[in-house]
Structure 1
């Protein structure tokens, strides 16, 4: 089972790498970034009419949904990240690294709110994983 999970996690990493750095991405000349927490999120929530529906959904929900699997793969593959604080720490560091790579390569954009939304998605996956583990332990007893 662990080998299957590892293969699925590898496939997930490859797909995400393509989405984040390759597919439809070209280095921008006029690079934008956001270092103010909740600035983009507030704009998406309270100024919804400024955005096309597709862009609004992708930015708000896509950043959450795409990272739910991260919350499953990390604690499943690495026991030391099965507690919430170490898990959150490694997720935030990983997401920060992705944003910095986007900043350096000018592919995508550095946005601290992406880290917040992506972390929320990972937490949702983590909660799902925790419920799965809890239910497995209950059925064994």
Structure 2
């Protein structure tokens, strides 16, 4: 093809944008609506690795479901963020701007959960979610972005 690969044509970007909106709606439901009721007390963790360390080193204290959900769920659910952000926003194709945007978005989600009391502010969630976004970013950088540069 000419200067644009098929991955960056208008129709493909439209499909990716629609998938990203669907992802945002699903995540909004998971994070703020589904099986969530406002709690009475504020819950928060500001100490990095305070909830991750017990999950890693005291695994037998947790059910398999809780362990998988808290560790891998927080990573896997945010992999798409690492693909769609750099795909849709050219300025976020470099690692540091991408990471900054991801951390700001995740911080906003955690603050919203704290204010609405339908979750808890946990710095470890930001850490695990960022790891998930980084995995998606690496996938984007290795698979999708190089195709654009090689087809010019």
1:131 aligned onto 2:142: yes
Following superposition, the deviation at residue 30 of structure 1 comes to: 3.7
Following superposition, the deviation at residue 32 of structure 1 comes to: 2.3
Unaligned runs of 5+ in 1: none
Name the residue aligned to 1:47.
Answer: 58
Q: How does 1:30-41 map to 2 (within 5 A)?
A: 30-41=41-52
How far apart, CA to CA, are the structure 1 residues paired with 2:40 and 2:71? 25
What's the CA shift string for 1:18-67, capped at 9, x where partnerless? 00000000011244211000111101101111111101100000000000
Q: How does 1:17-32 map to 2 (within 5 A)?
A: 17-32=28-43
Question: TM-score normalized by structure 1?
Answer: 0.95
The alignment yields a C-alpha RMSD, in angstroms, of 1.1
Unaligned runs of 5+ in 2: 1-11
Runs of 4+ in 1 over 6 A off after TM superposition: none
Query: Matched residue pairs, number?
Result: 140
Q: How does 1:1-141 map to 2 (within 5 A)?
A: 1-132=12-143, 133-138=145-150, 140=151
What's the CA shift string for 1:77-121, capped at 9, x where partnerless? 100000000000000000000000001011011100000000000
* Partner secondary structure for residue 36 of structure 1: coil
Following superposition, the deviation at residue 16 of structure 1 comes to: 0.2
Name the residue aligned to 2:3.
Answer: none
Larger radius of gyration: 2
